[in-house]
């Protein structure tokens, strides 16, 4: 049986000392957890030091983005090889903030997914609709496009290393959460798309996370939904006590 994946996206928060302390504290708190996979994704400049603090722990290191070229004149970007060297196992790709603030399109996101997989990383592909898109009743169309185009040319043999995170944009950092039923409906859609793309066995193995104002007081009801296999957590991952509760309540 696949383990749920609880991943903390620290975004552009914390100085180095605070990041290392948070990593060490979190590692101590969840050291006995064996039935949930845990990961944290600090900012690029803190990856090596946070990775050192997590060494010998049961918490995986992840990055918040990557580029699809191996090296070269790409000012401000970071390669998958650099992430692996820093100790990363996961990389978040296509987060709504990358899509909507930085204008990343599906073809760029797809190139990053393919590069991450070829490098040996596990991409967390983020998909989800805006508030206007939900009000316009095009959630299914938007999410379908994100999934199909984001996973274009991904092979069936690589599919088991994928994670998909459904993040309704209107619920990220707003305190407004999709109901478990709303989330489950979209997760069922995503599972169906993965089944069409990769077949039943591979689709079942792929974990589909929910992200968007996940907190200790709502994680258990979300995780009780059959197609929700974990959470991609923002603000609640910035404090060790709340993140520990998320990990434990998701079991």
CA pair distance 86, 51, nearest whole angstrom: 7
CA pair distance 4, 209, nearest whole angstrom: 8
Which residue is catalytic, options 37, 97, 167, 184? 167
Give the torsion sign (CA, 211, 54, 42, 163): negative
Among 54, 247, 27, smallest CA distance to 233 is for 247
Which residue is catalytic, options 95, 97, 184, 244? 95
Query: Residue 135: in which H helix or E strand, if any?
Result: helix 131-135
Catalytic residue check, 46: no
C-alpha pair distances (Å), 221 with each of 69, 148, 249: 40, 28, 9
Residues annotated catalytic, as ranges: 95, 167
């Amino acid at each position: 049986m696949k383990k749920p994946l609880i991943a903390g996206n620290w975004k552009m928060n914390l100085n180095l000392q605070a990041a290392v302390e948070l990593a060490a504290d979190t590692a101590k708190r969840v050291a006995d957890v064996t039935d949930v996979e845990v990961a944290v994704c600090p900012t690029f400049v803190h990856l090596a030091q946070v990775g050192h603090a997590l060494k010998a722990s049961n918490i995986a290191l992840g990055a918040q983005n990557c580029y699809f070229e191996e090296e070269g004149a790409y000012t401000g970007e970071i390669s998958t090889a650099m992430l692996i060297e820093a100790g990363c196992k996961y990389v978040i790709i296509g987060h709504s903030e990358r899509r909507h603030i930085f204008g990343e399109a599906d073809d760029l996101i797809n190139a990053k997914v393919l590069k991450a997989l070829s490098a040996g990383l596990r991409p967390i592909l983020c998909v989800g609709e805006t508030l206007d898109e939900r009000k316009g009743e095009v959630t299914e169309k938007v999410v379908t496009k994100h999934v199909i185009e984001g996973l274009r040319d991904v092979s069936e043999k690589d599919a088991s290393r994928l994670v998909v995170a459904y993040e309704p944009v209107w619920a990220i950092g707003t305190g407004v959460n999709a109901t478990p039923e709303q989330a489950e409906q979209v997760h069922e859609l995503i599972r169906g798309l993965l089944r069409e793309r990769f077949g039943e066995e591979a689709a079942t193995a792929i974990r589909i996370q929910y992200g968007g104002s996940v907190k200790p007081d709502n994680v258990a009801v979300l995780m009780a939904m059959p197609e929700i296999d974990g959470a991609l957590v923002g603000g609640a991952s910035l404090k060790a006590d709340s993140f520990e509760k998320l990990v434990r309540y998701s079991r």
